[in-house]
């Protein structure tokens, strides 16, 4: 191995600092250079005896200024923090669960460190026979603390009481949340790590990408028998790293460690099999499990799910199937009905006209999906984030959609017709058919807009895959969904002979056209209800007032501004429109104030929240903090309903499945904690959880079993009572 003088003298200096400073029993060491540059505290994260077998605990280190301590593998210099215990008989502790560190580079020296506040969690394992009274645990914490100019050993003695009446640390919730945020995670399902070895050089290649397509670094965490000399990469902008070692026994195929990826950067665990050249990746504890029919397997759930997307071609197929099913969703039926009426009207027309109208409708579908894909890419490039159905989380977008539907409905009622001047009309007539290709195109666009609150079977998996891939993949998946949704109309257009099976056109079509305005107004009613759920009754009332004025404006236009209207009628119509416009301008600040109201929270019964009792579910509001507390708590199973008021599939599942007495009884018998993650208004915590389970939108249902060692179960978008009851029964087993 090449002699590195700088690294050699740095190691000598570190060693001298360790032996030159006397041990002052953790007292005066804290004031050698400044008051408490590193503070340490051992805390309880569970009250009493925990779950009776172990107690969740943590060592909390608080670093002042530029001071830092070291990871389990410190790098080229440094020393990991440790605890030496004095424990009563029968008690023992686990190793630290090391959070993802930071990389520090100075000249050619690379270290892996912690600064600020960091919690190193671990478990205190209890004896089979627990004492009746509290016991006192003693120990000594040792660390090497360094700053920009010097390093010095540090440490402190501590004593902590554990017993049946002891309380958890007052900041347990915050600490658990920080632990969850900083812990290295299992590799996403679509990402694989592959090792190759040539002598003492190991090469790691990562196939697949995270949501922003970036793999930033690799932090090695080798066993003692592997000595790392250097890590190179990522090489040439790709996720490949070369790990140069001084010693590495034969039979070892790779170097365990942590991949740093994503934005913000997160750590992902790389573990190594003993068989050279095999794919590696941690699966134990992975919380990305999809299943449609759980069955007991060795005390756990069968994790062989069918809803997981693992390749681009599978995602495209799922996108086509999901888009096809979108046509059957209730949220899209009003716009689809308009297109079917259009096909009936065109039954007597030429094949060319039928084809052009169907093609225009399909182009509208494709254009909207392409715009959504470009919006996702643009927002990601700008450093932000979007999600499926993002427009339904913005009250102004909902107001605009309702306004367009009101205008469409008024047109169907015959309240107004758009009349163009003769020259313009002649041009449009040559480009469009009698009923207007532009109308077919707009119906396609609005059918797609109304479809996005729905997450059909197959669609959620395809969207989750798309949003976790490089940006170039996103348009491919979105266009595959558009293909599935547009397929029936393209088939009817390409094979116009099939239209003969539809009713023949006649005078009854006029009445049917007028009737179709009512489904559009019903959709407007749903949008107003949604605004009320998001921003309260004032927002819903203000939106209704706006739609009333908009309807009045269409009446003034149709009654007094038609192409054949007299001059005096036109003047009256213009005055009426100006009057309506003035009312809208005058009331706009009221509308804005209503839309700015605080988003609603889930209504909770303070005494029963999170419980299923007597045929009623008393939902508790989801948060990552609350979930972390529950998963570190008393081993009760947890059910989280990721939902939104604009999601039709969610509402159907709630009414037909989650409101059934036998389902609620199953939750009650297994003593579930019931959390509702309401995504009606955008919530970054919920968005992160959806991405964690590789889902693009709601609904999503996740069950954390009572036995914490088992994997959580991800249910399909469309659930059945039998499935939920079986999951609830098995999740309650310990």
Q: What is the pLDDT of residues 111-167, one digit of tens each?
A: 999 999 999 999 999 998 888 889 999 999 999 999 887 888 889 999 999 998 898
Q: How confident is the model at residue 549 (pLDDT cuts 50, 70, 90)?
A: very high
Q: How confident is the model at residue 396 (pLDDT cuts 50, 70, 90)?
A: confident
Q: Using N-to-C axis directions, what is the helix angle for 684-692 and 624-631, rounded to 10°? A: 50
Looking at the predicted structure, is the pLDDT value of residue 422 above 50? no
Q: How confident is the model at residue 216 (pLDDT cuts 50, 70, 90)?
A: confident
What number is the average pLDDT over the span 601-623? 72
Looking at the predicted structure, is the pLDDT value of residue 294 above 80? no
Q: What is the pLDDT of residue 676?
A: 93
Compute the mean pLDDT over every residue in the chain, rounded to the nearest whole number. 76
Q: What is the DSSP string of 291-302?
A: -SS--EETTEE-
Looking at the predicted structure, is the pLDDT value of residue 274 above 60? no
Q: What is the pLDDT of residue 400?
A: 83
The top-scoring range by mean pLDDT among 90-94, 246-250, 445-449 is: 90-94
Q: What is the pLDDT of residue 335?
A: 57
More confident residue, 512 or 321: 321
What number is the average pLDDT over the span 290-312? 41
Q: What is the pLDDT of residue 321?
A: 83
Looking at the predicted structure, is the pLDDT value of residue 5 above 60? no
Q: What is the pLDDT of residues 315-335, one digit of tens each?
A: 788 878 877 777 766 555 555
Q: What is the pLDDT of residue 329?
A: 62
Global pTM value: 0.49
Q: What is the pLDDT of residue 328?
A: 67
The length of the chain is: 734
More confident residue, 25 or 236: 236
Q: What is the pLDDT of residues 487-509, one digit of tens each?
A: 887 777 776 555 555 555 556 66
Q: What is the pLDDT of residue 81?
A: 95
Sign of the CA dihedral with 558 first, then 559, 563, and 567 last: negative
Spatial distance between the Cα atoms of 130 and 134, rounded to a whole number of angstroms: 10
Looking at the predicted structure, is the pLDDT value of residue 439 above 80? no
More confident residue, 347 or 641: 641
In terms of Cα–Cα distance, which of 336, 521, 347, 525 is closest to 445? 336
Q: Worst-scoring range by mean pLDDT, 20-29, 182-191, 403-412, 620-629?
A: 20-29
In terms of Cα–Cα distance, which of 408, 409, 406, 375 is closest to 389? 375
The top-scoring range by mean pLDDT among 76-85, 226-235, 283-292, 461-470 is: 76-85
Looking at the predicted structure, is the pLDDT value of residue 176 above 50? yes
171 CB neighbour count, 10 Å cutoff:
14
Tokens of 576: 């009426």
Spatial distance between the Cα atoms of 696 and 247, rounded to a whole number of angstroms: 45
Q: What is the pLDDT of residues 668-726, one digit of tens each?
A: 999 999 999 988 877 878 887 887 787 777 889 999 998 866 778 889 888 899 999 99
The domain locations on the chain are 5-181, 192-280, 312-517, 537-596, 611-731
Spatial distance between the Cα atoms of 102 and 534, rounded to a whole number of angstroms: 40
What number is the average pLDDT over the span 84-92? 92
Spatial distance between the Cα atoms of 716 and 2, rounded to a whole number of angstroms: 56
Task: Provide CATH code, domain 5-181.
Answer: 2.60.40.1250
Spatial distance between the Cα atoms of 484 and 338, rounded to a whole number of angstroms: 19
What separation in angstroms does the CA of 570 have from each of 296, 575, 720?
Answer: 75, 9, 59
Looking at the predicted structure, is the pLDDT value of residue 171 above 80? yes
What number is the average pLDDT over the span 297-314? 48
Task: Provide CATH code, domain 611-731.
Answer: 3.40.30.10
Looking at the predicted structure, is the pLDDT value of residue 20 above 80? no
What number is the average pLDDT over the span 297-322? 58
Q: What is the pLDDT of residue 418?
A: 54
Q: What is the pLDDT of residue 93?
A: 93
More confident residue, 300 or 58: 58
Sort 505 into a burial class: Cβ within 10 Å, 0-12 / 13-18 / 19+. Answer: middle
Residue 669's Cβ-side half-sphere holds a number of Cα atoms within 13 Å equal to 14
Provide the percentage of residues in the chain whose pLDDT is more than 70.
72
Residues 175 and 58: beta-carbon distance below 8 Å: yes
Residue 150's Cβ-side half-sphere holds a number of Cα atoms within 13 Å equal to 12
| CA 496 and chain centroid, separation | 43
Peptide linkage before 234 cis (omega within 30 of 0): yes
Sign of the CA dihedral with 645 first, then 648, 652, and 653 last: negative
Q: What is the pLDDT of residue 298?
A: 38
Looking at the predicted structure, is the pLDDT value of residue 642 above 80? yes
48 CB neighbour count, 10 Å cutoff:
18
Looking at the predicted structure, is the pLDDT value of residue 24 above 50? no
More confident residue, 351 or 555: 555
Looking at the predicted structure, is the pLDDT value of residue 256 above 50? yes
The top-scoring range by mean pLDDT among 72-86, 402-416, 637-651 is: 72-86
Q: Worst-scoring range by mean pLDDT, 104-108, 134-138, 348-352, 618-622?
A: 348-352
């Amino acid at each position: 191995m090449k002699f590195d003088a700088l690294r050699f003298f740095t190691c000598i200096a570190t060693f001298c600092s360790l032996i030159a400073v006397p041990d002052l029993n953790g007292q005066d060491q804290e004031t050698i250079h400044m008051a408490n540059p590193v503070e340490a505290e051992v805390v309880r994260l569970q009250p009493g005896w925990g779950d009776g077998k172990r107690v969740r605990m943590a060592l909390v280190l608080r670093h002042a200024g530029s001071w830092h301590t070291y990871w389990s593998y410190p790098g080229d210099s440094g020393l990991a923090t440790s605890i030496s215990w004095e424990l009563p008989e029968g008690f023992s502790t686990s190793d630290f669960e090391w959070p993802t560190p930071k990389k520090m580079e100075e000249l050619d020296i690379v270290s892996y460190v912690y600064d600020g506040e960091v919690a190193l969690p671990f478990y205190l394992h209890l004896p089979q026979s627990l004492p009746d009274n509290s016991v006192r645990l003693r120990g000594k914490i040792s660390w090497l603390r360094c700053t920009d100019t010097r390093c010095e050993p540090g440490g402190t003695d501590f004593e902590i009481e554990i017993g049946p009446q002891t309380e958890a640390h007052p900041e347990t919730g915050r600490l658990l949340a920080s632990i969850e945020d900083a812990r290295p995670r299992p590799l996403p399902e679509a990402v694989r790590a592959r090792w190759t070895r040539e002598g003492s050089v190991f090469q790691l290649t990562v196939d697949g990408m995270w949501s922003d397509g970036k793999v930033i670094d690799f932090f090695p965490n080798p066993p003692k028998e592997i000595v790392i000399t250097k890590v190179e990469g990522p090489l040439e902008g790709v996720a490949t790293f070369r790990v140069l070692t001084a010693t590495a026994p034969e039979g070892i195929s790779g170097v365990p460690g942590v991949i740093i990826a994503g934005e913000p950067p997160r750590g992902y665990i790389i573990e190594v099999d003993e068989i050279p050249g095999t794919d590696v990746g941690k699966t134990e504890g992975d919380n990305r499990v999809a299943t449609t029919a759980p069955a007991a397997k060795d005390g756990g759930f069968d994790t062989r799910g069918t809803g997981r997307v693992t390749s681009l071609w599978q995602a495209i197929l799922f996108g086509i199937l999901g888009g096809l099913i979108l046509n059957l969703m209730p949220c899209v039926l009003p716009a689809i009905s308009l297109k079917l009426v259009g096909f009936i009207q065109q039954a007597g027309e030429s094949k060319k006209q039928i084809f052009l109208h169907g093609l225009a409708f399909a182009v509208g579908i494709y254009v909207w999906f392409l715009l959504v894909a470009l919006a996702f890419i643009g927002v990601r490039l700008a450093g932000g984030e979007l999600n499926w159905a993002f427009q339904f989380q913005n009250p102004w977008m909902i107001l605009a959609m309702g306004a367009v539907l009101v205008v469409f409905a008024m047109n169907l009622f015959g309240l107004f017709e758009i009349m163009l001047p003769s020259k313009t009309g002649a041009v449009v007539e040559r480009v469009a058919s009698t009923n207007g290709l532009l109308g077919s195109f707009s119906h396609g666009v609005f059918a797609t807009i109304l479809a996005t609150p729905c997450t059909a079977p197959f669609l959620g998996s395809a969207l989750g895959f798309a949003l976790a891939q490089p940006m170039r993949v996103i348009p491919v998946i979105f266009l595959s969904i558009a293909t599935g949704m547009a397929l029936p109309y393209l088939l009817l257009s390409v094979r116009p002979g099939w239209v003969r099976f539809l009713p023949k056109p006649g005078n009854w079509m006029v009445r049917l056209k007028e009737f179709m305005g009512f489904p559009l107004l019903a959709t407007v009613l749903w949008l107003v209800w949604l605004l009320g759920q998001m921003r309260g009754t004032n927002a819903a009332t203000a939106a209704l007032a706006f739609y009333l004025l908009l309807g009045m404006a269409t009446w003034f236009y149709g009654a007094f501004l038609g192409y054949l209207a007299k001059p005096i009628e036109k003047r009256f119509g213009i005055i009426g429109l100006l009057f309506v416009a003035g009312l809208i301008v005058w009331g706009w600040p009221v509308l804005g104030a209503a839309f700015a109201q605080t988003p609603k929270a889930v209504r909770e019964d303070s005494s029963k929240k999170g419980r299923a009792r007597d045929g009623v579910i008393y939902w508790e509001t989801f948060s990552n903090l609350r979930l972390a507390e529950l998963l570190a708590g008393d081993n009760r199973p947890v059910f989280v309903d990721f939902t939104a008021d604009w999601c039709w599939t969610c509402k159907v599942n709630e009414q037909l499945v989650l409101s059934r007495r036998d389902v609620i009884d199953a939750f009650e018998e297994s003593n579930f904690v019931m959390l509702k993650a309401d995504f009606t208004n955008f919530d970054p915590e919920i968005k992160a959880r959806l991405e964690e389970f590789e889902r693009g939108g709601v609904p999503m249902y996740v069950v954390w079993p009572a036995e914490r060692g088992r994997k959580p179960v991800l249910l399909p978008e469309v659930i059945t009572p039998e499935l939920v009851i079986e999951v609830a029964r098995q999740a309650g087993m310990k």
